Structure 1
Amino acid sequence: WNQTKAIYGLGDARPKLFPKQIAFNVIPYIGSFLDDGYTDEEAKMWNEVHKIMDPSIKLTVTCVRVPVFVGHSESVNLEFDRPISPDEARALLRDAPGVMVIDKQEHDGYITPVDAAGEHAVYVSRIRKDPTVENGLSLWVVSDNLRKGAALNAVQIAQLLDETGIIKPASGYRSITV
């Protein structure tokens, strides 16, 4: 915000918080560099995907700092064991709890971080074939990181564990719905 004001007001826009100018820019680095050239933020994404989904999933990640006030965005390329069409993926994602598919092939048929701000859903757009792999899809995913980040996910996981009976309230306590 301060750099933007400085650029428009012909003030001092030299970086103070980030290593390079962030206003009207994109920085392909978040966190600290590791010995392999990736960053600790990228390693955190690998670890989370492996922990949540499957430790054998292969992925590569480049975390990018983009000057938005709220939001996480991901450009995701997926490879499947069998063919899957974009229409089939849209249908599956529309049935996934907490996911909203906004995917029209027109100039405003996708979601941006500004659109997702203040919302609890994870939005998926731009679902299309990835021609670089046999059974691949590419998609765009956006969410409000302040709402759908750690806190809401933790509550939703706890609710699911409670509903499925995996965890039980201690005696003297009752479960609550948030």
Structure 2
Amino acid sequence: AETKKILDKNIKVTATCVRVPVFVGHSESINIEFEEFLDEHEARDILRESPGIMVIDKREDGGYITPIECVGDYATYISRIRQDSTIDNGINLWCVSDNLRKGAALNAVQIAELLGSRHLKKG
């Protein structure tokens, strides 16, 4: 419901919440379907260039980040980027962040800064 409120009321989203024994952190397995094909390597490159995103995506045991490893950091970590073979033009990825650092409060400040900078540029 939150995604629909934030992005678009018509967006198709399915989510699963899993409670795991960690003190801090959010984790999400994300499946995205695009209008056009996006290669996983291109998606990885785009994410690496995105502000606030750290890509940790090695094709080996332990080559992805867990909620425990992101504690105390402001970044959002993306791992396990791969094609989703169950849908057309799909990408799967794993996302974790410290919800106390990169949670509602910091996001609100960052959104306010972004809106402020856009408004100041127009004026």
TM above 0.5: yes
How far apart, in 2, do the equivalents of 1:99 and 1:159 lie?
Answer: 17
How far apart, in 2, do the equivalents of 1:63 and 1:154 lie?
Answer: 23
- Equivalent position amino acid for 1:113 in 2: P
Q: Secondary structure at the match of 1:126?
A: strand
TM-score, normalised with respect to structure 2: 0.92
Counterpart position of 1:148? 102
Counterpart position of 1:99? 53
How far apart, in 2, do the equivalents of 1:155 and 1:56 lie?
Answer: 27
- Equivalent position amino acid for 2:55 in 1: V
Counterpart position of 1:125? 79
How far apart, in 2, do the equivalents of 1:67 and 1:61 lie?
Answer: 19
Deviations 1:59-105 (A, max 9, x none): 11121211111100001111111111110101111122111111111
Deviations 1:14-72 (A, max 9, x none): xxxxxxxxxxxxxxxxxxxxxxxxxxxxxxxx2x2123222221011121211111100
Structure 1 moving runs of 4+ over 4 Å: none
Q: Secondary structure at the match of 2:109?
A: helix
Q: Secondary structure at the match of 2:119?
A: coil
Q: 2:25 aligns with which of 71, 76, 99?
A: 71
Point out the structure with the larger strand share: 2
How far apart, in 2, do the equivalents of 1:152 and 1:82 lie?
Answer: 32
Deviating more after overlay: 55-64 vs 123-132? 55-64
How far apart, in 2, do the equivalents of 1:52 and 1:96 lie?
Answer: 20
Counterpart position of 1:41? none
TM-score, normalised with respect to structure 1: 0.64
Aligned-residue sequence identity (percent) comes to 62
Q: How does 1:109-120 map to 2 (within 5 A)?
A: 109-120=63-74
1:80 matched to 2:34: yes
Count of aligned positions: 120
| Residue 126 (structure 1) shift | 0.1
| Residue 134 (structure 1) shift | 1.5
* Two-structure CA RMSD over aligned residues (Å): 1.2
